[in-house]
Amino acid sequence: MTVLAFIIQILIRDVLSNLVLSIPLRDSNPHPCRIRRHAPPSSSPPNNPRLQTSFFPVDPSTTMVLAAVGQFCATSNVLANLEACKTIVTRAAAQGAKVVCLPEASDYIASNAEEGRRLVESRKTNTLLQGLQESAKEHGVHVSVGIHEKTDDPKRVSNAHVWLYPDGDHTQIYRKLHLYDVDIPNGPIIKESNSTVPGTKLIPPFETPVGKVGMAICYDMRFPELALRLRSLGASCLLYPSAFAVRTGAAHWETLLRARAIDTQCYVLAAAQVGKHDKEGKRQSYGHAMIVDPWGSVLARCHDVDSEPTFCVADISEKHIESIRRNMPLWEQRRTDVFGERGGSKGDKSGDDFPTGDSDRGED
List 73, 86, 101, 104, catalytic entry: 104
Of the chain, the end-to-end C-alpha distance in Å amounts to 65
CA atoms in the 13 A half-sphere facing the CB of 121: 14
Q: Rounded distance, CA 25 to CA 64, Å?
A: 24
**Spatial contact of 87 and 79, defined as CB atoms under 8 Å apart:** no
**Spatial contact of 302 and 289, defined as CB atoms under 8 Å apart:** yes
Q: Which amino acid type is present at position 122?
A: S
Q: What angle do CA 68, 71, 72 make, to 5 degrees?
A: 145
**Spatial contact of 364 and 126, defined as CB atoms under 8 Å apart:** no
Q: Rounded distance, CA 364 to CA 357, Å?
A: 16
Taking the CA atoms of residue 305, residue 161, residue 108 and residue 303 in that order, the dihedral angle to the nearest 10 degrees is 10
346 given a catalytic annotation:
no
**Spatial contact of 31 and 304, defined as CB atoms under 8 Å apart:** yes
Other Cβ atoms closer than 10 A to 173: 22
Beta bridge partners of 302: 33
Beta bridge partners of 21: 33
List 101, 218, 302, 312, catalytic entry: 218
Residue 198: name the closest of 151, 128, 240 by CA: 151
Q: Which amino acid type is present at position 163?
A: W
104 given a catalytic annotation:
yes
Q: What is the DSSP letter of 360?
A: P
List 86, 98, 176, 212, catalytic entry: 176
212 given a catalytic annotation:
no
Q: Rounded distance, CA 288 to CA 143, Å?
A: 19
**Spatial contact of 259 and 218, defined as CB atoms under 8 Å apart:** no
Other Cβ atoms closer than 10 A to 115: 14
Q: Rounded distance, CA 350 to CA 252, Å?
A: 29
The per-residue DSSP string of 182-213 comes to: EE-TTS-EEEGGGTEEPP--BPPPEEETTEEE
- Residues annotated as catalytic are 104, 176, 218
